[in-house]
Homo-oligomer: A and B are copies of this chain.
């Protein structure tokens, strides 16, 4: 017999509330207010099957990614994760899929100290919508509009791996499970600890979901600035070693889906930021600087202007 809606929620999504005053199972969840002058950071992301993940993606990776992309937004604000809600439309009740999905989601939730507060389950084309909550002192929040001219421009991790895996999948050449680029695509790791460490160090931050140039463009627009990127400094994912230079530029600069943090900081913070990788186990690389001159400029090692494809991902273009 198929599971009903309420039994489904009970079986896969109801766990005892830890931090919440009241968790899953009532009209609303209740969450104690942030203390010490901290504000609540709120973000929401929707994942549609066939668009943000493939229909045959392992359920565990879908659960991981649905939460990860939201936690990445919290990280890009310097917020500490607290909890999240989940709304899900399912074409049918597939208990094995749900068990895998819940396992992937809760593993990341437990790792990052946030809990499922409530949700909604309905029938429909497979769609997941998570809203995540964090806490951050508002004066320390890593807003997009706080970059300053002459700020250093930094990026975490390495870029282009996820985009490579997406390209191969769309071309019908899905990389095998366990391939580093496929892991980058299916199991992005939100840079939560880096976001927290950057609160006193960075001026502005954004996470890279649409592509380095596109997301840098958002940050520049909000801050009323331009930026210069030194292409040879850009950390390119090792899985792109076999690509041509043009492919490497396109995947690393415009590929998206890496969920690394792009942030700006005063030059005076260089030493403090360079000390972060040893402490956090997250590489950070200085790739350029912010400029009062509007527009994005990418240069080669000799200072010559490159003209890579700057378009990032846009769901309606």
Contacts and interface: CB of A to CB of B under 8 A. Distances in A.
Interface of A: 2-6, 8, 21-22, 25-35, 37-46, 48, 50-52, 73-74, 76-77, 79, 83, 85-90, 93, 117-125, 127, 129, 131, 133-134, 136, 138, 141-145, 205-207, 218, 222, 314-317
A119 B122 CA distance: 20
B87 A138 contact: no
Contacts of A145: 26
Given A30-B136, A31-B40, A39-B33, A123 B45 contact: no
A117 B33 contact: no
A210 B76 CA distance: 39
Contact of A27 (B29, B76, B125, B131): B76
A61 to B, nearest CB: 19
A141 B30 contact: yes
Q: Considering the complex of A and B, which 3 residue pairs feature the smallest CB-CB distances, nearest first?
A: A48-B124, A129-B129, A46-B87
B34 A42 contact: no
Nearest to A76: B27
What is the count of identical protomers in the complex? 2
A315 B120 CA distance: 11
Contacts of A31: 39-42
A26 B119 CA distance: 24
Contacts of A143: 22, 26
A303 B121 CA distance: 38
Output the residue of A52, A122, A136 with the most chain B CB within 10 A.
A122
A179 B35 CA distance: 49
A58 to B, nearest CB: 21
Given A21-B138, A79-B28, A125-B127, A317 B74 contact: no
Nearest to A6: B314
A120 B218 CA distance: 15
A42 B133 contact: yes
26 contacts: A2-B316, A5-B317, A25-B144, A27-B77, A28-B41, A28-B76, A28-B79, A28-B141, A30-B40, A30-B41, A30-B141, A31-B40, A33-B33, A33-B38, A43-B118, A44-B86, A44-B131, A45-B87, A45-B120, A46-B129, A48-B89, A51-B122, A87-B131, A89-B127, A127-B127, A131-B131
